[in-house]
Chains A and B, each alone.
Chain A
Amino acid sequence: MTAFVPVVKSRSAVADRVFNLVTAGAAWLVLILLGATAASMAWGGRLAFETFGLGFITSTDWDAVAGKFGALVPVYGTIVTSLIALIIAVPVSLGIALFLTDIAPRWIRGPIGIAVELLAAIPSIIYGMWGLFVFAPFMALHVDPWLNDTLGPLPIIGAVFTGPPIGIGMLTAGIVLGIMVIPFIAAVARDVFNAVPPPLKESAVALGSTRWEVLSRVTLPYARSAVIGAIFLGLGRALGETMAVTFVLGNAHDLSISLLMPSNSIAAAIANEFTEADAELYRSSLIALAFLLFVVTFIVLSAAKLLLLRINRAHGKTH
């Protein structure tokens, strides 16, 4: 009996060590995968970076035959479509978050919250298809001609809204992206609003504040950094989204100020061209694009996470 106890103990100690090692190894795997992704994109894109240097980022060339590649058009398209998406999604998402936390009657909050979350669950390829077959024709028929007629003749900004009414281009892609990121920002912003300590809001109400005053003077100032975090999270999603924009962006490698012109984005360029890229330099240029995208989204998402960390800690939540 006395000999039996130590044997069990040491065996369980070994099992404990093994269990610890396995779980820690799995945790390391997350880090390794992230690091390996960055490293492999840098490695795969080295030929493009070596060949073009900094000119890779500032050049608008994209000529597979002549072997000249520049990232400016897809980078520009990525930024512009993401900005359009944010311009649409930010006010709408904050409105939804406000509605779900303070305005809607309690019984309706659950179902509408679920509906918004379902909007986030729809695969992006469905958004893309809908964009191509339904929304782009709608834009071509109703919105593009109107923009051409009313905003087109204006000085300075006119050029931005002048273009062929084909419904394919940065404006359509930006709107589809905006619809896509609304539920992401709204869901996080709702949690952020809910994390504001009720006594703060109650005090404001007791002093006679209206709902708008509670939001603008108590909730938003208290949750400012987390709200920005939620927006950054949406931006991170928008920058890297592929399928929703690939359908409606037009895959054109021309730099144009007009939002109605077909353009390109980093993700769309990779999706459209990677399997056709036969030359080593061509493929390397696309991977270099992916490297740029990965670095930028990494920074944006890290910033989002840092901004959200504070309020979540106060709320006792871990994500």
Chain B
Amino acid sequence: MGLILLRRRLVDALAFLFASGATLFGLFWLFWILWTTFRQGFGAINVALFTQMTPPPGSAGGLLNAFYGSAVMILLAVIIGAPLGVAAGTYLAEHGRHSRLAKVVSFLNDVLLSAPSIVIGLFVYEIVVRTSGHFSGYAGAVALAMILLPIVVRTSDEALRLVPDQMREAAFALGIPRWRVTAQILYKAALTAILTGVLLGVARIAGETAPLLFTALNNQFWSGSLSGPLANVPVVIFQYAMSPYDEWHALAWAGALVLTLFVLGLNLAVRIIAKRTSK
């Protein structure tokens, strides 16, 4: 009896050790990757990074045009993707709540959410770049919007479902039409949650590289126009990191650090907002 108990306790202690070890293992990589990015990135950050254009091979410069291109494409992607996502999420949570379409969409939306982003890039290449005949910032924004869409659908659906039914019933009892209940009451109640969903989506698309490779492509020079190839941070990082030049490597690390800080900062901000509103 004592031996069996000892064995059970030993197995339990081993499981305890394994689970703790697994957690340390997981966090170890997080710290290693962050440490590398900070150490390499900080050394490369200077004023020129934000004031100069991407340089030709082997010389110093900045990433101003890439930052601008990324910002514009993300903004446009939000303008396209967020309203559509909120509308579809509204259908899933409100107007089509128990319909078959809502069930199917909710299921396939999750598939789209995890679909390979490079395939989405190729899709946008086929329908936008090929038909228009050239790479463009618009195509990049469309690709990013397509990645943002399912995230916003999912989060706005969940946000609306969290609004208590009593609120809907009270509004209906006052004779308010359905669309005004949704637009003026439910959206207001779910606003923070919907916005955090959009912010999480922005954090996700900010680092997306694969869908931009064949849509926005890249541009070494300043371009204010979205109808031509547009520089952007992820693709610049990719090209510069793969190059043999030290100056380009340094710029790639600086870009990687700014990108990481932006993405992690947004994620932390979202969590703080969510925690504050849940209290």
Interface contact B111-A34, CB-CB below 8 Å: yes
Centre residue among B14, B92, B95, B217 by max chain A CB count within 10 A: B95
Q: Indicate the member of A27, A119, A129, A297 with the most B CB atoms within 10 Å.
A: A27
A240 touches B271 (CB 8 A): no
The binding surface of chain B is classed by DSSP as: helix
Docked complex Cα distance between A126 and B206 (Å):
12
Q: Considering residues B180, B238, B253, which has the most beta carbons from chain A within 10 angstroms of its beta carbon?
A: B238
Q: Which of B200-255 contact A (CB under 8 A)?
A: 203-204, 206-210, 213-214, 217, 234, 237-238, 241-242, 249, 252-253
Of A63-71, A145-153, A298-306, the one touching chain B: A298-306
* A98-B19, A123-B209, A271-B210 given; A213·B8 CB < 8 A: yes
Shortest Cβ distance from A186 into B: residue: B26
Q: Which of B19, B20, B34, B260: most chain A CB closer than 10 A?
A: B19
Q: How far is the CB of B20 from chain A (nearest CB, A)?
A: 6
A271–B116 Cα gap in the complex (Å)? Answer: 12
Interface string of A22-41 (1 = CB under 8 A from B): 11111111110110110011
Q: Which residues of A contact B173 (CB under 8 A)?
A: none
Using a Cβ–Cβ cut-off of 8 Å, how many residues does chain B contribute to the interface with A?
A: 97
Judged by a CB distance under 8 angstroms, whether A2 is at the interface is no
The residue from B26, B183, B203, B204 contacting A183, defined by CB atoms under 8 A apart: B26
The reply to whether B210 and A112 contact each other, CB–CB distance below 8 Å, is no
Tell which of A16, A33, A114 has the most Cβ of chain B within 10 Å.
A33
Contact A294–B242 (Cβ < 8 Å): no
Q: A95-B22, A125-B256, A243-B209 are in contact. Are A27 and B177 (CB under 8 A)?
A: no
Query: Chain A nearest CB: distance from B203 CB in Å?
Result: 6
- Cα distance A290–B117 when bound, in Å? 11
Residue of B nearest to A211 (CB): B12
Would B203 and A121 count as touching, CB distance under 8 A? yes
CA distance A40 to B263 in the complex (A): 32
Q: In the assembly, what is the distance between CA of A15 and CA of B207, in Å?
A: 39
Interface string of A92-135 (1 = CB under 8 A from B): 11111011100110000000101111110111111111101110
Question: Which positions in B face A, CB cutoff 8 Å?
Answer: 8-9, 11-12, 14-16, 18-23, 25-27, 29-30, 32-34, 36-37, 40, 84-85, 87-88, 90-92, 94-96, 101-102, 104-112, 114-120, 122-123, 125-127, 146, 149-150, 153-154, 157-158, 161, 177-180, 182-183, 203-204, 206-210, 213-214, 217, 234, 237-238, 241-242, 249, 252-253, 256, 259-260, 263-264, 267-268, 271
> 6 additional contacts, CB 8 Å, given A29-B88, A290-B122, A297-B116?
A15-B179, A41-B122, A116-B26, A121-B203, A128-B238, A287-B122
- Top 8 A-B pairs ranked by shortest CB distance? A123-B207, A95-B22, A240-B116, A26-B87, A19-B179, A23-B91, A210-B12, A26-B88
Binding site for B on A (CB under 8 A): 12-13, 15-16, 18-20, 22-31, 33-34, 36-37, 40-41, 43-44, 91-96, 98-100, 103-104, 112, 114-119, 121-130, 132-134, 179, 182-183, 186, 210-213, 215, 233, 236-237, 239-243, 246-247, 267, 270-271, 274-275, 286-287, 290, 293-294, 297-298, 301-302, 305, 318-319
Complex A-B: 24 CB contacts under 8 Å: A12-B179, A18-B179, A19-B183, A27-B91, A27-B101, A30-B108, A33-B146, A41-B123, A96-B23, A103-B16, A112-B27, A121-B267, A123-B234, A126-B259, A129-B37, A130-B32, A130-B33, A182-B29, A212-B15, A215-B15, A247-B242, A293-B118, A294-B116, A297-B114
